[in-house]
Amino acid sequence: MKSLARPSFFRLFDLLVSITNPGLKRPHWTHDGVDFERERHSTMGPRHGFVIEITTLTRQGRRGWSLMVIKEYWWVGEESKALKNLRWARPISGQRGDILSWFRTQEGKIGHHGFLDDSKADLGDEGESAVLDDDA
């Protein structure tokens, strides 16, 4: 993964989110020292619709950083035909290299079956943890 704009970044991001917050049941969660916050906004009219998902990742402390990942989905017509999908990511604070380094570390922790090697994700809010099992 070389940049925040490449498809490989978004594949890793989507995999990481799905592993650490299965079913997107929580709007806030923590994984490996990074706080995740997800928002979803949508509108629908008679001729078009629009959804935007914003996920903000924040790492506190020394060499901390913040990253926003935005996904937009547009559709038109009565059949809700897909019109355009956009995705982009921008650092809000901190060094881009530190962000990429954290993602490379996560990439290394994900095994060939798509599970984190440590098999745990801290989901934050109530201090609960989810155990991710290779056999599940």
Each of the 136 residues of the chain gets a pLDDT tens digit; together they read: 789 999 999 999 999 999 999 999 999 999 999 999 999 999 999 899 999 999 999 999 999 999 999 999 999 988 889 999 999 999 999 999 999 999 999 999 986 445 554 444 444 443 333 333 333 3
Predicted TM-score (pTM) of the model is 0.79
- Secondary structure string (H, E, C) spanning 46-83: CCEEEEEEEEEEEECCCCCEEEEEEEEEEEECCCCEEE
Q: Which pLDDT score, from 0 to 100, does residue 116 have? A: 53
Listed by start position, the domains of the chain span 7-98+107-131
Rounded Cα distance, 41 and 44, in Å: 11
